[in-house]
Amino acid sequence: MINLLHSPLAMPADQPLTVVYYEHLELSTGVAYRAHVHRSGQQLGVIESCGTGESQFLPADLESYDFKDFRTFVASCLFKGESATDQQVHEALIDEYEVSLAIAAAAERGRLLAREVTDGFSTTLTTVPRALHPHGHDEAAAQLARLSHRSWEMWTGYRWQRLPQTQPA
């Protein structure tokens, strides 16, 4: 099994799927989106939502990878150590893609990505300055506490590190 870095999904090592392109549109009913899913460079299909909160996988070619193949994939995945649902797999693959892009964008600006996590998914992403001294993480935690009283994690380049909880000033 492969554990994703940015969400609590584990997928079979012999058939990892990735989102390679994601487009979305904010609607009054939610977010409509299409996420293009690949495996080893081959497009398998898209995860699509019309903005109602429900999503579905639509194969690109029923001959090479169909609905049954995707259901088999989902059945072999674990979310927080439990059997995963289609929705959890959809959201985890998209979250992995979006967070990876945000990490790269933060690094280009010489910053680190911080996130709030709810139910295993990144709910708020922001950047913080790279710490230049040992107390830098405490300063970042205090800055983030002003945004929200929830717990925050910071991407170290290798893993998510929980920041100390502080009370806003």
pLDDT tens digits, 33-65: 999 999 998 999 999 998 887 899 999 988 889
Residue 72 has pLDDT above 80, yes or no: yes
pLDDT of residue 151: 75
pLDDT of residue 37: 95
pLDDT of residue 162: 81
pLDDT of residue 54: 86
Task: Work out the burial of residue 104: count CB atoms within 10 Å of its CB; fewer than 13 is exposed, 13-18 middle, 19 or more buried.
Answer: exposed
pLDDT of residue 157: 83
% of the chain exceeding 70 in pLDDT: 85
Tokens 């996988």, located at residue: 57
